[in-house]
Copies of this chain bind each other. A is one copy, B any other.
């Protein structure tokens, strides 16, 4: 996962992973039939990681607005990694979306998991009418921020855009409360 994240999927060779893990090259093909299968396993890991993250937020926090803040703050706390290699999920989606097939669909499905969570929070905040649009916009701004953060290798960008996103959410929620 670490090597795929740092270098991207296509640019990472099995020899790279073998060197970093100490696992001999041939062993991978005992557990994974192809490099694509290895990629699918990584995507599956991200999926379960996302689900457990969201579940823990929903259990430990009853305020939907606070949960949306946690989502944004997570990316701000990760800003150093984002500046170095971008969002691990976003760059996976971007790289694999262009090639059709199983891998691209599996990666894109990670966005569905995120969108479902965000939509739930906006609905709970009284914006069930446009929850889907608001979720799309929030995911877009966070993903775009991490792309720019990575492009300029400047962690502060993620934080600056993140603060704007928090303010934007409040304008959307306040207009519903009125």
Contacts and interface: CB of A to CB of B under 8 A. Distances in A.
Contacts of A147: 90, 93-94, 97, 140, 143-144, 147
Given A136-B157, A152-B108, A8 B145 contact: no
Most chain B beta carbons < 10 A, residue from A8, A94, A99, A157 = A94
A22 to B, nearest CB: 24
A121 interface: no
A103 B122 CA distance: 40
Interface size on A, as a range, is 35 or more
A136 to B, nearest CB: 5
Contacts of A91: 94, 98
A107 interface: yes
Interface stretch (A45-53, A63-71, A161-169): A161-169
B111 A140 contact: no
A133 interface: yes
B160 A136 contact: yes
A97 B149 CA distance: 10
B98 A86 contact: yes
A137 B151 contact: no
Contacts of A86: 94, 97-98
Contact of A165 (B97, B137, B142, B163): B137
Contacts of A140: 140-145, 147-148, 161
User: Nearest 10 A-B pairs (CB), nearest first?
Assistant: A140-B144, A144-B144, A143-B144, A108-B151, A137-B164, A140-B145, A141-B141, A97-B151, A93-B151, A97-B150
